[in-house]
Structure 1
Amino acid sequence: MKTRQTTQLVPHTVDGKTRLIPVPVDTPAPPRDWDALVLNGVTAIAAVVLTASVVWSTASIGDLLAHAVVKPAAYGAAVVFDLAWIACMAVEWLARYDEDRAVLPRRAGHVMLVLAMLAVAAHGKVAGYWEIGLIGAAVSALAKGLWTVVLRHQTPPLDARTRAWIQGELADAGASLALIPVRRQLQRAQAQVAAERAAIESRTDSGSADPDRPDEAADDPDADVLAIRPGAVTTKDAVRIAWDTGVRDDDAAARYVAKVTGKAPSPDTVARYMRLLRNGVAS
């Protein structure tokens, strides 16, 4: 039996104190995984074939386009033909657990592969060697076919119920991600509304806009001003609104919280929320 040397932690006591120390030990070596070796070899072959296909297609299509444009632009456009279907194939691999999402990149990859093959064949015809054009076009087909076989082999088969379960999990995760910008937009809107109301209250209190009529008491609220109801927002929400409107001082934030919530907040609570916002860890 083949063995290999590894380390194992064993207790060792010196002067009444025990520590775990690494000790070399011989353990049975696992058998060689020929399946993994073969798969790695096939993947390497597919990578070499893909590289050769990109080089050949770029050279052929670039030489064809060079008849009309300068060579740097021609070869820059030529490499797009193969990179397009390669990118579609990569997206198809990423969607391997969702067959519905993998259909579009698979079909798009086939269309882009046909366009690349037609361009290579056209170069052979223009050069006067249509046989070489057909053979060159087959190189791209062989590269994509080989990669399709490799990727399909590594795609685990899933039954319909498992695929439906995975789609449900992805839908939940997608909904959570979609709510992030929605919440940010809502917070910005709430902050703008709160800032506008605070500005209106400030102008009203100073008597610079819409003063009380002579028949109204000085302490009566104006009917046209929509004041924030006390208790409509929490201290944390009010601190967040003050922060979004540009308030950075703890005392100013406390005064704003008192105005919005209708009660004096704890200075320590306001300072803690402001500290979290400065550190960028407040939710």
Structure 2
Amino acid sequence: MRTRTIERTRLVPHTVDGVTEMVLDREKIEVPAPPRDWDQLVRTAVTAGAIVLVAASLAWTTASIGDLLSAVTIAVVAYAAAVAFDASWIMCMGVEWLLRYDPERAQVARRAGRWALAVSMGAVFAHGYLIADTWVIGAVGAVVSALAKGGWSMAMRVHARPLDPRTQQWVAKRRAALDGKLAMIPIRRELQRGEAVIDAELRALGALADSGSADPDQSGQSADSPAPDPHPTATGPMTIKDAVRTAVDSGIRDPDRVLAYVRKVADANAREDTVARYIRLAG
């Protein structure tokens, strides 16, 4: 029987000069080794083989299509554009893997990958046919991409964990609820930004209306009419900062008057330096 050595640690009492403490005791023991997991080894080999095939296909397609396109443009641009042909269906397969538990969305990526593969194979075939003047070389070159995609598809099937219809519906409902919560995050931010813009616009228009409606000629004012309120009207519970902003927006600039207004509507113990700092920020 195969064995393997492991290190085991445990707490044991140890006494020195009559004082006992719990210390770690390490010992190496032999335990039976588990049998080799051949399924996992084969699965790893299949995955590694699929990666090698995809890398070889990408290199071959880039070289072939790059050589074809270099006839009409500079080589650097031609080979850079050639990368897109195989990279397209490789990306589609990556998306298909990420959406493996959402068959409806994965179907779109699967179809797009097949079209991208067909375009890539057609371009490689055209290169081989034009260069060698024979369709055999073009067909053989085009098959490289098909083999790579087939190998990667098999690797995905090895790692796939199919769900039964009921579990699939459960997953879909849970994902829909979670996606709804995630989607509301940017929506709420957008609504808050819009409300802030509207609020700033209304405050600006209100300040302009108040300054424009002031009557410079006060000679016609009745002596019996009450004197105007030197402080703006409080609209509800306010912080010191809000109170300072309201006073400044209402045209009050004198620090003492602003301080008196803040102590009246916000905080009776508001500090003078705090109010002065908010006045500078508001100005």
- Shorter-normalised TM range: 0.7 to 0.9
**d(CA) in 2 for partners of 1:263, 1:66:** 77
The 1:190–1:22 alpha-carbon spacing in structure 2 relative to 1, beyond 3 Å, is: farther
Q: 1:230 aligns with which of 229, 236, 250?
A: 236
Say yes or no: does 1:75 pair with 2:79.
Answer: yes
**d(CA) in 2 for partners of 1:11, 1:191:** 65
**d(CA) in 2 for partners of 1:267, 1:163:** 62
3-state SS in 2 of match to 1:4: strand
The 1:168–1:228 alpha-carbon spacing in structure 2 relative to 1, beyond 3 Å, is: farther
Say yes or no: does 1:139 pair with 2:144.
Answer: yes
Contact map agreement 2:65 2:123 (CA 8 A) in 1: yes
**d(CA) in 2 for partners of 1:228, 1:57:** 73
Say yes or no: does 1:125 pair with 2:129.
Answer: yes
Say yes or no: does 1:252 pair with 2:241.
Answer: yes
3-state SS in 2 of match to 1:67: coil
The 1:263–1:200 alpha-carbon spacing in structure 2 relative to 1, beyond 3 Å, is: farther
**Aligned-pair distance for 1:192?**
3.5
| CA-to-aligned-CA distance 1:225-254 (integer Å, 9 cap, x gap) | xx99536xxx7xxx7xxxxxxxxxxx5357
3-state SS in 2 of match to 1:25: strand
* Partner residue in 1 for 2:108: 104
3-state SS in 2 of match to 1:208: helix
Task: Specify the structure having the higher radius of gyration (Cα).
Answer: 2
The 1:104–1:16 alpha-carbon spacing in structure 2 relative to 1, beyond 3 Å, is: same
**d(CA) in 1 for partners of 2:65, 2:8:** 57
**d(CA) in 1 for partners of 2:118, 2:13:** 69
Q: 2:266 aligns with which of 264, 267, 272?
A: 264
AA aligned opposite 1:187? Q
Say yes or no: does 1:90 pair with 2:94.
Answer: yes
TM-score (norm: length of structure 1): 0.73
The 1:267–1:217 alpha-carbon spacing in structure 2 relative to 1, beyond 3 Å, is: closer
**Aligned-pair distance for 1:150?**
0.9
**d(CA) in 2 for partners of 1:67, 1:267:** 82
**d(CA) in 1 for partners of 2:139, 2:179:** 45
**d(CA) in 1 for partners of 2:234, 2:85:** 60
Contact map agreement 2:65 2:79 (CA 8 A) in 1: yes
The 1:202–1:155 alpha-carbon spacing in structure 2 relative to 1, beyond 3 Å, is: same
Note the residue ranges of structure 2 that are not aligned, 5 or more in a row: 248-260, 275-283
**d(CA) in 2 for partners of 1:267, 1:102:** 64
* Partner residue in 2 for 1:151: 156
**d(CA) in 2 for partners of 1:5, 1:267:** 69
Contact map agreement 2:93 2:109 (CA 8 A) in 1: yes
Contact map agreement 2:234 2:265 (CA 8 A) in 1: no
Contact map agreement 1:88 1:106 (CA 8 A) in 2: yes
* Partner residue in 1 for 2:5: 4
Say yes or no: does 1:173 pair with 2:178.
Answer: yes
3-state SS in 2 of match to 1:119: helix
**Aligned-pair distance for 1:194?**
4.1
AA aligned opposite 2:147? L
Q: 2:28 aligns with which of 25, 29, 33?
A: 25
The 1:121–1:219 alpha-carbon spacing in structure 2 relative to 1, beyond 3 Å, is: same
The 1:99–1:218 alpha-carbon spacing in structure 2 relative to 1, beyond 3 Å, is: farther
* Partner residue in 2 for 1:113: 117
TM-score (norm: length of structure 2): 0.73
| CA-to-aligned-CA distance 1:117-137 (integer Å, 9 cap, x gap) | 111111111011321111111
The 1:267–1:165 alpha-carbon spacing in structure 2 relative to 1, beyond 3 Å, is: farther
The alignment of Structure 1 onto Structure 2 pairs a total of residues equal to: 244
Say yes or no: does 1:163 pair with 2:152.
Answer: no
